[in-house]
Amino acid sequence: MTRSTSLTINGETHVVDVDHRTTLLDLLRHHLDLTGTKKGCDHGQCGACTILVNDRRINACLTLACMHDGDDITTIEGLGTPDDLSAMQKAFIKHDGFQCGYCTAGQICSATAMLKEAKAGWPSNVSSSLDGKGALSNEEISERMSGNLCRCSAYTGIVNAIREAAGETGQ
């Protein structure tokens, strides 16, 4: 059982006929050859598959492609290119925000969207006040990024990279 679905991915429109069971993650990797997005646990626990749907970060493994007809999707391939890296991508390289690199695409997509959430004044579980005006401390970054695991434990570099990118985007 399939359904015709139209999605805009990194600015390009794709019309695909997908089995209802196809997750958004499998559509990207297996049908559209956008293999930058990684499959880690496939159960929403590791964050390796984090992408942006309509500008919000989600786990691509826990949603079905057929549910996203008309949606605007950004993957790691849409954030920057090898010749024109995004500020977050540059900061991850500068601060060694990875070791094996498997979680990195998810980390960078997640962090990019997370900065927008913080800028919009969304509080977190560690915010002392709910007013959303607190500084983006290391503790805040760690809490807001807790949906992205790094088994190499490059967390120090990841936090430093996000801090730098946050500065560049006016945080």
Partner 1 sequence: MKQFDYSRATSTSDATRAASVHGSAIIAGGTNLIDLMKLEVMSPDVLVDINRLDLHQITPTQDGGLRIGALVTNSDLAAHETVRRDYEVLSRALLAGASGQLRNKATTGGNLLQRTRCAYFYDTAMPCNKREPGSGCHARDGFNRILAILGTSEHCIATHPSDMAVAMMALDAVVEVENTTGDTRKIALDDLYCLPGSTPDVETVLQRGDLITAVLLPQPKAGLHVYRKVRDRSSYAFALVSVAAVAQMDAGKIAQISLAFGGLAPKPWRNQQVEAALTGQAPSEALFDQAADILLAEAQGFGANDFKIPLSRRTLKAVLRTVTETSQ
Q: How far is the CB of 118 from partner 1 (least distance, A)?
A: 10
Q: Is the dihedral of CA 55, 56, 57, 63 positive or negative?
A: negative
Instruction: Give the one residue of 8, 16, 31, 132 binding partner 1; rule: CB under 8 A.
Output: 132
Helix or strand or coil: residue 12?
strand
According to DSSP H, which parts of 80-119 are helical?
87-94, 104-119
Tell me if 93 contacts partner 1 by CB under 8 A: no
Candidate segments 59-67, 74-82, 91-99, 163-171, binder of partner 1 by CB under 8 A:
59-67
Q: Which residues contact 2 (CB under 8 A, 6 or more apart)?
A: 17, 18, 19, 20
Tell me if 16 contacts partner 1 by CB under 8 A: no
Residue 95 or 144 with smaller CB distance to partner 1: 144
Taking CB under 8 A as the rule, which mask of x and - marks residues 94-123 in contact with partner 1?
----------------x--xx--x--xxxx
Instruction: Give the one residue of 28, 37, 40, 47 binding partner 1; rule: CB under 8 A.
Output: 47
State how far the Cα of 96 lies from the Cα of 111, in Å rounded to an integer: 15
Q: How far is the CB of 44 from partner 1 (least distance, A)?
A: 6
Q: How far is the CB of 130 from partner 1 (least distance, A)?
A: 4
State how far the Cα of 161 lies from the Cα of 158, in Å rounded to an integer: 5
Burial class (CB in 10 A: 0-12, 13-18, 19+), 170: exposed
Token output for 41 = 């646990």
Point out which residues bind partner 1 (CB under 8 A).
1, 3, 20-21, 23, 42-44, 47, 50, 56-59, 62-64, 66-67, 110, 113-114, 117, 120-125, 127, 130-132, 142-148
